[in-house]
């Protein structure tokens, strides 16, 4: 499982690199690139959640390794959320539709407490 995951991730990185190197993309191509990039991030996040929710995997890491993972993820996510806020504000200035669409997406993804499943 781990080796195929790494290979697929390396292919995704290569595709992202190719997207970012392209010049003169039209609007649709840029949106396709963003979609691929975000889906790659989503896939990675799902993998992280599978690991973090699996004590059999997490016990293999030392406290120092876990601390480093936590620090790096925290730094990355803070920067991502700051950028998310910046772009959301930008979109809000352009159209109220953006804020409404984001709010609806958040509401549809929320789970009620009785729907939460813990391992």
Q: pLDDT-derived band of residue 41, with 50, 70 and 90 as boundaries?
A: very high
How does DSSP classify residue 59? T
Convert 31-52 to b/e letters by CB count within 10 Å (16 or more is b): eebeeeeeebeeeeeeeeeeee
Q: Is the pLDDT of residue 16 over 70?
A: yes
User: Is residue 77 over pLDDT 60?
Assistant: yes
- Averaged pLDDT for residues 82-105: 80
């Amino acid at each position: 499982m781990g080796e195929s995951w790494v290979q697929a991730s390396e292919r995704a990185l290569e595709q992202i690199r190719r997207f970012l190197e392209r010049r003169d993309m039209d609007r649709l191509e840029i949106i396709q690139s963003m979609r691929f990039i975000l889906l790659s991030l989503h896939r990675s996040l799902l993998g992280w959640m599978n690991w973090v929710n699996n004590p059999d995997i997490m016990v293999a890491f030392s406290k120092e390794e876990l601390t480093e993972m936590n620090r790096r993820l925290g730094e990355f996510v803070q920067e991502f959320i700051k950028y998310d806020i910046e772009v959301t504000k930008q979109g809000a200035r352009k159209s109220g539709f953006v804020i409404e669409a984001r709010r609806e997406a958040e509401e549809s993804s929320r789970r009620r407490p009785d729907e939460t499943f813990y391992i």
